[in-house]
Amino acid sequence: MEMVLSFEKNISLAKQGNRRELARLLTLIESGEKLNIEESKSWVLGVTGPPGVGKSTLIGVMIEEWVRRGEKIAVLAIDPSSPKSGGALLGDRMRMASADNGESVFIRSLATRNHPGGLMPFLDSMIDLLSYCGWTKIIIETVGSGQSEIRIVAFANRIMLVDGPDRGDIIQAEKAGIIELADAIVINKSDLPNADNATNSIRKSLEYSNKNNDTVVMQTSSINNDGITELIEELDNLRVNKERNILRIKERLISAWDHKLLSNPSLDEILLDLQSGAINLDEALENI
């Protein structure tokens, strides 16, 4: 009881703008603490796309524009589990640092490697906490477009896929199904050759794959500040597409399901029984 009360005090301090408290609470959530936070999801954007296409740079310039408009932005930067991620993460932070003007921007990085069971158990609570504390726009950045990134961005209520002028990467994304989930597909580095080609082929593949498609397809150059205000207008005015929303909810459900399974106290026992042939898969599921 006392614990709960002391968290309440921390939460109210974080809500008043105390960043140190906010950081501490996020750490608590990450370590598995259940905080009693009102569910209050505001505007959550999931950003994903192949490595190096300019996601962090783009997020940085978007943040600058949003801050000018009076928004308060929190970024959860989620690194891949690769050994290289430590350095890349630092780079990200430095690139975003120019936009980090005090009160209006909060950046937190998360390492997936610390959470073999996935980020699901706490990502949702982190979003709730940030929303409750008055961060009007929450951005989740992940690298890549595989199944685990899809799972992560599915916790956002709008998804932006960023690609570069090189077509190779997006084909991977198509395979993983991220294109179906994306509300907006942005071809960044429009200052480079081939951006038009890349944009056209994305438009084409959307035409082929979807029936009534309203996916926003845009070009930006984050280094020249081209297309940024247009992109922001599109994202701010995005209408929730029911089919994509259901796909997102499905991914969240799968995450929750996986977490239930992997955190089952008799998992080890069940695995041993499966190995010895004492039970079959159906019986294992029954037990779980």
* Class of residue 87 by CB neighbours under 10 A (exposed 0-12, middle 13-18, buried 19+): exposed
Interface pattern 43-72 for Mg ion (x via CB under 5 A) = ------------xx----------------
- Residue with token string 């906490």: 129
Report the C-alpha gap between 225 and 279 in whole angstroms. Answer: 60
Interface pattern 190-229 for ligand GTP (x via CB under 6 A) = -xx----------------------------xxx------
- Residue with token string 């990467």: 169
**Is residue 85 at the binding interface for Mg ion, with CB under 5 A as the rule?**
no
Report the C-alpha gap between 160 and 223 in whole angstroms. Answer: 19
Report the C-alpha gap between 12 and 37 in whole angstroms. Answer: 10
- Please work out the total of residues on this chain that contact Mg ion, with binding judged by CB under 5 A: 3
Interface pattern 100-139 for Mg ion (x via CB under 5 A) = ----------------------------------------
**Least Å distance between CB 231 and ligand GTP?**
12
**Is residue 86 at the binding interface for ligand GTP, with CB under 6 A as the rule?**
no
Query: Which residues, 6 or more positions from 237, have their beta carbon under 8 angstroms from its beta carbon?
Result: none
**Least Å distance between CB 56 and ligand GTP?**
3
Report the C-alpha gap between 98 and 176 in whole angstroms. Answer: 33
273 binds, among Mg ion, ligand GTP, none (CB under 5 to 8 A by kind): none
**Is residue 52 at the binding interface for ligand GTP, with CB under 6 A as the rule?**
yes
**Least Å distance between CB 276 and Mg ion?**
46
**Least Å distance between CB 250 and Mg ion?**
27
**Is residue 254 at the binding interface for ligand GTP, with CB under 6 A as the rule?**
no
Q: By Cβ distance, which residue is nearest to Mg ion?
A: 56
Q: By Cβ distance, which residue is nearest to ligand GTP?
A: 54
DSSP 70: T
**Is residue 188 at the binding interface for ligand GTP, with CB under 6 A as the rule?**
yes
- Inter-CA distances, 146 with 4, 49, 115, 175, 251, Å: 38, 9, 17, 9, 13
Which of 107, 129, 143, 270 forms a contact with ligand GTP (CB under 6 A)?
143
C-alpha dihedral (203, 204, 209, 211), degrees to nearest 10:
70
**Is residue 215 at the binding interface for Mg ion, with CB under 5 A as the rule?**
no
Cβ proximity to Mg ion, 121 vs 164, nearer residue:
164
Closest among 190, 244, 236, 176 to 215, alpha carbons compared: 244
**Least Å distance between CB 264 and ligand GTP?**
34
For the chain, the straight-line distance linking the first and the last C-alpha, in angstroms and rounded, comes to 31
**Is residue 88 at the binding interface for ligand GTP, with CB under 6 A as the rule?**
yes
Beta carbons of 132 and 26 less than 8 angstroms apart:
no
Cβ proximity to ligand GTP, 56 vs 125, nearer residue:
56
Binding site for ligand GTP (CB under 6 A): 51-57, 88, 92, 95, 143, 188-189, 191-192, 221-223
